[in-house]
Amino acid sequence: MTSLPAKTEKTLGLVIDLDTCVGCHACAVSCKEWNTGGQSGPLNDLNAYGADVEGVWLNRIHSYEVDAAEGNVGTDMTVHFPRSCLHCADAPCVTVCPTGASLKRAEDGIVLVDDEKCIGCGLCAWACPYGAREMDPVEQVMRKCTLCVDRIYNETLDEIDRIPACVRTCPTSARHFGDLSDPTSDVSKLVEARGGVALMPEQGTKPVNRYLPPRPRHVAQAAPTTVAEDDLQTDGFFGWVDSILSKMGP
Amino acid sequence: MHPAYSIIWFTTLSGAGYGLAAFLGLGLVEMKGLTAFFAYGIASALIGIGLISSTLHLGHPERAWRAFSQWRSSWLSREGVLAVATFIPLSICAIAAIFLERQLPFVGFAITVFAAFTVFATSMIYASLKTIHHWHSWLTSACYLGFATSSGFLVLVAISAPLLEADNVLGIAIFLVLLAWAFKGIWWYRADTMTSSSTPQTALGLPDERHVRRLELPHTGSNYLMKEMGYWVARKHGQKLRMIALAIGLALPILCLLMAATLTGIVAQAVAGLAAIAHFAGIVVERWLFFAQARHAVMLYYGADAA
């Protein structure tokens, strides 16, 4: 059903910490492995061992260089940015779907693709500003992050593993999972403490996932960006050597 | 956006078909027997080929019947329902005109209403997407409806000698062509000058306007998003194509229609037919640009400076 539920009982989502993410891609690989072994079949790749490999990934890690903030010299930073479905409250990918394949669950807010109904028209991918949905080149249906719905309720797994694969594997604890509509949950407290933000709020999708911004960098002392000739140290033993050498030749 | 030819043919052919059907429904000219057969036949063929073309881009066309189910929320579903629904009054009027040689004004008006709503729903599939700010405007619907009206009317004028020779009809045809391209001109102006509120900073959740530079793509290879959403035609090529669209879609049809006004008989119809074909060709170029010049917000993650 591609009408959105008026209210969801729980609002499950991820919180991703851009401050501690080191861009190792473990979460992307873990997601690919879990979903390739799952019931919807492999996340297909084309020309997997050839020259032009491409394939479906539900989680992709971008890396950016971000310039220093105004008046805060030397605080340029590298931001590693894991991008996957934000399970939006007002998901445009759900309402545009003509067949009912794209749905948002009322019990926990997870947005899923029913790949038995999907006709592969790709309109949901056009509707998503975050690029959460990709067409499987072999199966010709749309694929997206399932929030590991087949892990989180799976009683055959140890309790510690009943979280999304990407959260379980992150070596720097940059990914967190929980109910963001519950103000007492760990993720809600984390978002509150670190000022977690929604991405592209102007698109009106009301994303559920939150990104924790990189903590403001500061430099311990004013670090010179270039070393001028005149700044060379001119005292001590090496200063004496330098002055002898300067007098010696051109 | 990668221009899918199946979608381009779908929107242009079905637009012309629904435009023609809408005018047939209004009963501007009495059509009977063989003439009616050609007229309704051409309308149905344009719509039918357009709709079939639209299924060609689907991954699973055998499940396309499911696309009628979500009309409560999806413009694509609504378009499917309306497209098929239009065939009901269209068939009734066709049978009445061809075999019974009767005009049915009320059923005919139903064709016009359904055809207009179908084209409107088609336009809303694109206009409802906030991710592509070029498309997200009432002007998109105005252009789709405008071109469906003008292309449909020109086909009708070309196939109906009595209509062609009636007073003011060629003037109306020229006016409709001008009106459609006027909407398109405003659409192009808006697309060229407006900026999206989505920026690389809002995409990454950065609090201020710090410059963002792409360091590394997530993968060394290409992917579906980059191929589908990352294609856009270079600005100077786009400008040339716009000129071509106007030359064959605006200037040439008007010249032909003016010429047709001075001619009679089959020669006039042939020249009017040329006007219809040229106008349609211009619309196809315009529709290609509609996709090829569109920018999608997701490309902000892939290094685009602006959406």
Q: How far apart are CA B41 and CA A181, in angstroms?
A: 57
Q: How far apart are CA A91 and CA A157, in angstroms?
A: 30
Segment A223-243 mean pLDDT: 68
Provide Rg for chain B, Cα atoms: 21
Local structure of B15: helix, strand or coil: helix
What is the pTM assigned to this prediction?
A: 0.91
Q: In this model, does residue A221 exceed pLDDT 90?
A: no
Best probe of the B interface among A19, A80, A119, by most B CBs < 10 A, is: A119
Segment A117-128 mean pLDDT: 96
Partner residue opposite B215 with nearest CB, options A52, A64, A83: A64
Local structure of B139: helix, strand or coil: helix
Q: What is the pLDDT of residues A26-67, one digit of tens each?
A: 999 999 999 998 776 789 999 889 888 889 999 999 999 999
Q: In this model, does residue B8 exceed pLDDT 90?
A: yes
Residue of B nearest to A140 (CA): B59
Segment B48-54 mean pLDDT: 93
Beta-carbon count within 10 A of A108 CB? 19
Segment B138-164 mean pLDDT: 95
pLDDT for the residue A231: 58
| Burial class of A218 by CB neighbour count within 10 A (0 to 12, 13 to 18, 19+) | exposed
pLDDT for the residue B70: 94
DSSP letters of B198-209? --HHHHHT-SS-
ipTM of the complex: 0.92
Residue B33: band (very low, low, confident or very high) from pLDDT cuts 50, 70, 90: confident
Q: How far apart are CA A207 and CA A197, in angstroms?
A: 10
Looking at per-residue pLDDT, the higher value among A228 and B273 belongs to B273
Lowest mean pLDDT among A205-209, A239-243, B194-198: A239-243
- What are the angstrom distances between the C-alpha of A72 and each of A20, B208, B247? 21, 13, 54
Chain-centre distance of CA A93, in angstroms? 19
**Chain A residues whose beta carbon lies within 8 Å of the beta carbon of residue B208:** 69-70
Q: Is B64 at the interface with chain A, CB within 8 A?
A: yes
**Interface touch A95/B74, C-beta < 8 Å:** yes
| Inter-chain CB pairs, A–B, below 8 Å | 195
Q: In this model, does residue B271 exceed pLDDT 60?
A: yes
pLDDT for the residue A38: 75
Q: In this model, does residue A199 exceed pLDDT 60?
A: yes
- What are the angstrom distances between the C-alpha of B306 and each of B209, B234, B246, B287, B296? 13, 15, 28, 23, 9
- Shortest distance between the Cα of B298 and any Cα of chain A, in A, equals 5
Burial B211-232 (b: 16+ CB within 10 A, else e): ebeebebbbeeebbbbebbbeb
**Chain A residues whose beta carbon lies within 8 Å of the beta carbon of residue B224:** 54, 56, 125, 134-135, 137
Segment A8-22 mean pLDDT: 96
Compute φ and ψ for A81, nearest 5 degrees.
-130, 100
Residue of A nearest to B211 (CA): A67
- Shortest distance between the Cα of A174 and any Cα of chain B, in A, equals 16
Surface of B (205-244) touching A: CB under 8 A: 205-208, 210-219, 221-225, 228-229
